[in-house]
Structure 1
Amino acid sequence: MKANFCLNCGNKMETRDINGTDRRACPACEFVLWGDYSIGVGALVMKDDKVLLVRRMEDPGKGLWTNPGGYSEQLESIDQTVVREVLEETGVTTKVKSVVAIRDLPREVHNVYITFAMEYVEGEPVPDGVEVDKAGFYSLQEMETMSVAGLTRILVNTALQGQTNGLEYSKDPYKDARLFSIPTSGE
């Protein structure tokens, strides 16, 4: 999407070379649109050696089982976002333990997706009926027969590896995406 009017003063924007990159800028107040970004979060919630999964009712991923998650609101911290998304989609209360992985997907809207290992606090999974139509805790064996999204499989495997090598780059099967994993200590 191209910004036609300044978000600061409302004046008509122009395209200008700024440090070698064409950017939308305001000639009246010098506002520069540095880019368009979205921050997504995902939760890996374990209970009794099972992972909390939801089945998506909407695209992207309609009909696939994924880890709960969503997008950060403008004035919301990412740790608040992931707790809220799990609660909204499943009714399960959680707390953030650690970061498991960061997916970087540069494109027209640059998407950064952060996956968290979450501590289960309370609640039984109940789908919200809006974004997800099923929710529950599933074992790795049960996941083998389910239509689990590829990224969710990668994230679950990363979280269960139990390594402590720090930030690692791993090839992601999704075009133009990079997945940086932060293996946990096997908690």
Structure 2
Amino acid sequence: MARANLTPERLYAAAAELADAHGFEAVTASAVARHFGVQPASLYSHVRDRDALLDGVQQYALGELGDRVSIEIAGRSGVEALRGFAEANRAYALERPGAWQALQRTASIETATSTQGQRLGALTIALVRGYGLDESQLVHAARFIGATLNGFLAQNKAGAFDHRDTEVETSWQAALAALDRALRSWPTRDEAL
């Protein structure tokens, strides 16, 4: 009876929950199959192999994060959109640690071109456009935002900030202020190195 209810979406949601509870490395076909009370072979009519399962979890996480980002940046621009974008990412990293970890995995071409990946990318570009940057600089600025936020969140998760008395929240707010300043003074194509 459980087999009739298996769908790729249910598999990816269960795998993301497994990742949240036990870490992204714990996501295997066997572990997901146990969750549904079926044999691992039952999953292979829905996913090709473990890489496909992990891609699915990554796409699932991109979709969830995209939903959060779209809510937080809707109707906002500039620093307010940047703060909404950043807080959506931080909340996701805290509330869905395994799913967030899936986002740190190198994306396959299927994931990068998926609806979920394209949507989150478009939301990021929309955020950058709100700063009035030259079209040739949008991707560069979007990468800068992603690298800064993901770097900060990954370092914090790894405990890299635990050895100082200074509050992490103060550092987070300073990082967002620095990002805003960098985006407001972003070089044009002619000024870029």
Higher strand share: 1
**Could you state the TM-score of these two structures normalised by the residue count of structure 1?**
0.29
Higher helix share: 2
